[in-house]
Amino acid sequence: MPSALPLADPAPLDGLLPASVAEGAETRNFGVYLHVPFCRVRCGYCDFNTYTSDELRGAKRSDYASQAIAEISLASGVLDAVGLPARPASTVFFGGGTPTLLPASDLIRMLGAVDDTWGLEPGAEVTTEANPDSVDADYLISLKSAGFTRVSFGMQSAVPHVLATLERTHDPERVPLVVRWAREAGLDVSLDLIYGTPGESLDDWRTSLEHAIAQGPDHISAYALIVEDGTKLARQIRRGDVATPDDDLQADMYELADELLTAAGYRWYEVSNWARPTPSAVAGRVEGGLIEAGLSPLDGAEHRSRHNLAYWQGHDWWGIGPGAHSHVGGVRWWNVKHPAAYADRIAAGESPAFGRETLDDETRRVERVLLATRIRDGLPMTELTASGRTAVAGLIADELVDARAAIGGRIELTLRGRLLADAVVRRLLEE
């Protein structure tokens, strides 16, 4: 079953926020995340807050869009009450679960409510996740016509036995088809991959990478499989039915991903994410005689996931739906998990928020170091304590931090540093 919610203070039933969240709001972007918690089947490795039909306990998929729209209205009232300046949504992200199990008209209604409530910033990024077997050409055309700009397909692997271990239901040969449909509709495309599945070889992983690259997506995410407690996969490993993922093999797989993606013209911008530079960015550098080994961190920014960058950069977002997390001005909260509990709160006119925490200055600084270190734009060294700045020389000597970037006043991980990112962060935070 899905993981437990964090422990924290109870959230008020009216959802009201402290006045402090308005401080500095004009310097932060505002995004909206809509969690659609429905899946056709539960994959054995998945620990997300998702539910199959027989787990809904009376909640109905057909009611969900209206419930989410009701929370959008509640959110608007909460943000207005605390005096936050009017900010249009710069990004909107439909995640899950499988958002595209709902009719396209439901996703369009929810996006329309976001636009009617806050407005969309010019050029706003609007993304939905999708499984390759959950959309067709007409569905994608409908989304594009309504203002969606991007689709992220859960490809995971191109190798049948790996997909079988992950309990993914799609045929890998469907991926080129849905990518083509998305392209024809005018949507940007991202492909999500998982590596380190029990029984997956380095050659299997190479096959998946090459298959993904061959589709020419704008963006590729590659995540190491993490075995979460309480999942079916964790129980299979505990019984000895499948092997424990091999850390050394996963490191080799990460290095192979970076090698092949870089050779194909993608550039990493977060430890697990690569984006393709826009043709105009590359052409401009050629004309100016500025081509060099490796593009600058900003090249290809148009194809990065701006919504996910907002998380890593500490901006504001409101999470709509069961179990969704939100963050505004240093206050973080999360909704009740089950769709039935969520529906009950919404029907009663109450906030669905379950728990929340207010981050103190030190916690916010630590999180800033943790998150900014993971992205290629890096962490300004001015945000480190004296002890943290002292640690940089050793990190450079250990080839974990790029020396040229550090001389320029910024922490940027090397390839080796990305493999050991958590260790780098610990050393930067040591006192």
Q: Give the residue-averaged pLDDT of 308-314.
A: 95
- What is the residue range of 57's domain? 9-358
Residue 51, pLDDT score:
93
Domain count along the chain: 2
Domain co-membership, 65 together with 95? yes
Domain co-membership, 380 together with 330? no
Share of the chain above pLDDT 90, in %: 83
Domain co-membership, 320 together with 346? yes
**In this structure, what DSSP letter does residue 294 have?**
S
Domain co-membership, 172 together with 71? yes
CB 179 within 8 A of CB 189: yes
How many residues are listed for the chain in this entry? 431
CA–CA–CA angle 241, 243, 246 (5° rounding): 170
Domain co-membership, 123 together with 249? yes
Domain co-membership, 336 together with 383? no
Residue 209, pLDDT score:
98
Identify the band that residue 281 occupies on the pLDDT scale cut at 50, 70 and 90: very low
pLDDT(282) > 50: no
Condensed to tens digits (0 to 9), the pLDDT of residues 150-201 reads 999 999 999 999 999 999 988 999 999 999 999 999 999 999 999 999 999 9
Domain co-membership, 386 together with 310? no
Long-range contact set of residues 341-349: C-beta below 8 Å, sequence gap at least 24:
342/59, 342/67, 343/59, 343/63, 343/67, 346/67, 346/70, 346/71
pLDDT(76) > 60: yes
Mean pLDDT of all residues in the chain?
92
Domain co-membership, 315 together with 365? no
Does the pTM surpass 0.85? The reply is yes
Condensed to tens digits (0 to 9), the pLDDT of residues 104-129 reads 999 999 999 999 999 999 999 999 99
For residues 210 and 191, what is the distance between their CA atoms, to the nearest angstrom? 12
Identify the band that residue 98 occupies on the pLDDT scale cut at 50, 70 and 90: very high
Give the H or E element holding residue 416. helix 415-419
Helix, strand, coil tally for the chain in percent (to 5) = 45, 20, 35
Identify the band that residue 228 occupies on the pLDDT scale cut at 50, 70 and 90: confident
Query: Which of 301, 330, 358 is the endpoint of a domain?
Result: 358
The reply to whether 189 falls in a domain is: yes
Identify the band that residue 4 occupies on the pLDDT scale cut at 50, 70 and 90: low
Greater model confidence, 73 or 233: 73
Domain co-membership, 346 together with 366? no
The reply to whether 118 falls in a domain is: yes
Greater model confidence, 63 or 235: 63
The reply to whether 4 falls in a domain is: no
Residue 190, pLDDT score:
98
pLDDT(317) > 70: yes
Look up the CATH number of the domain holding residue 295: 3.80.30.20
pLDDT(6) > 80: no
Peptide bond into 97 cis (omega under 30): yes
Domain co-membership, 274 together with 391? no
pLDDT(285) > 70: no
pLDDT(94) > 80: yes
Condensed to tens digits (0 to 9), the pLDDT of residues 416-427 reads 999 999 999 999
Strand duo 353-358 + 331-335: pairing:
antiparallel
The reply to whether 3 falls in a domain is: no
Condensed to tens digits (0 to 9), the pLDDT of residues 366-396 reads 999 999 999 999 999 999 999 999 999 999 9
Query: Which of 304, 332, 358 is the endpoint of a domain?
Result: 358
Identify the band that residue 298 occupies on the pLDDT scale cut at 50, 70 and 90: very low
Domain co-membership, 21 together with 161? yes
Residue 391: phi and psi, rounded to 5, are -70, -20
Residue 47, pLDDT score:
82
The reply to whether 143 falls in a domain is: yes
Identify the band that residue 8 occupies on the pLDDT scale cut at 50, 70 and 90: confident
* Of the listed ranges 275-279, 297-301, 307-311, 424-428, the one predicted with least confidence: 297-301
**Residue 231 burial (CB count, 10 A):** 20
Domain co-membership, 422 together with 281? no
